[in-house]
Amino acid sequence: MRPSGVRAAAAAAALCLGVAACGATGTARHSANIGDFSLIEVGRAHLQIAADGRSAVVQVQTSPPTVCAIAYGRTSALGSIADDPDMGGTAISRHIVVLGGLAPGTTYHFLLTATDAEGRVFQTPALASFTTPRGTSALGRDVAIGAKIVAVSSQWSSAYSAANAVDGNLSTAWASNGDGDRAFITIDLGRERKITGISFITREMSDGSAITRTYAVVVDGRRRYGPFPAGSPVDPHIVPVSFTGRFLRFEVVRSTGGNTGAAEIEVFSAI
């Protein structure tokens, strides 16, 4: 996916994760029982920061396959951790990890750790850092965060509840129970709003299913807009719109089928 529309001027940055390139900080954390991450890293890991500054995606490949996790936070104490949900309880070689819940215009520190099937542990030798962009403010603020869920086609489980689509955290997601192109979710903004932009950030499965390609929005049960292209954590693909409403029903129009849903739904309003 490529940045487009209002995102063109604020395209996600692609950065190499080498300690020098990302600005290493802190001191070495290795002990005699922990190997250097470079011993198992294939190529160079890459970091992409979303243009709105709310998330980042780390892509790294290891050989042998490993269980990989990234600890991150605003200080050297870190405090948050993320891994690749595609691991499914086992080791894999290609890792894609979403660092969610970030704040725009903020510096974060992070550390990569991996364990192979023989129990060997590998870690980056020092903290690296990155700074999120300040995000796009021209469209206003995201009023979908914390919105009430009025209706949903289905949800896979409580861990993948509809509320995850409006919690402001890209590390969580709403997943339907196999609804495919029939998936929908309706949110209540609390009062009528003048909407300036919308985004549907799709979830996806490692087997290529559950990816929403396009979606539509029905406003107050009357007016339908779209279809629009869905976004990703790195490129939310915010679509500029101009309408007023309170109840918004997001409908999957075209997908790869399966447990379709959203990592996040964004609705921007200047009021």
Q: How confident is the model at residue 12 (pLDDT cuts 50, 70, 90)?
A: very low
Q: What is the pLDDT of residues 240-263, one digit of tens each?
A: 999 999 999 999 999 999 999 999
**Distance between CA atoms of 184 and 250, rounded to whole angstroms?**
6
Query: SS3 sequence, the chain?
Result: CCCCHHHHHHCCEEEECCHHHHCCECCCCCCCCEEEHHHCECCCCEEEECCCCCCEEEEEEEEEEEEEEEEEECCCCCCEEEECHHHCCCCEEEEEEEECCCCCCCEEEEEEEEEECCCCEEECCCEEEEECCCCCCCCCEECCCCCEEEEECCCCCHHHCHHHHHCCCCCCCEECCCCHHHCEEEEEEEEEEEEEEEEEEECCCCCCCCCEEEEEEEECCCEEEEEEECECCCCCCCEEEEEEEEEEEEEEEEECCCCCEEEEEEEEECC
Q: Which domains does the chain have, with CATH numbers?
A: 5-131 (2.60.40.10), 141-269 (2.60.120.260)
CA distance 77 to 262: 31
- Summarize the confidence of residues 225-240 as an average pLDDT: 90
| Sequence-distant (≥ 6) Cβ neighbours of residue 22 within 8 angstroms | 15, 16, 47, 128, 129, 130
Task: Please identify which residue in the block is written with the tokens 């991150």.
Answer: 72
| 26-71 pLDDT tens trace | 444 545 589 999 999 998 888 888 777 888 889 899 999 999 999 9
Say which residues have a Cβ less than 8 Å from residue 158's Cβ, sequence separation at least 6.
none
More confidently predicted of 220 and 24? 220
End-to-end CA distance of the chain: 30
For the chain, the C-alpha Rg in angstroms (whole number) is: 19
pLDDT at 9: 29
Q: Cα-flanking dihedrals φ and ψ of residue 32, to 5°?
A: -65, -20
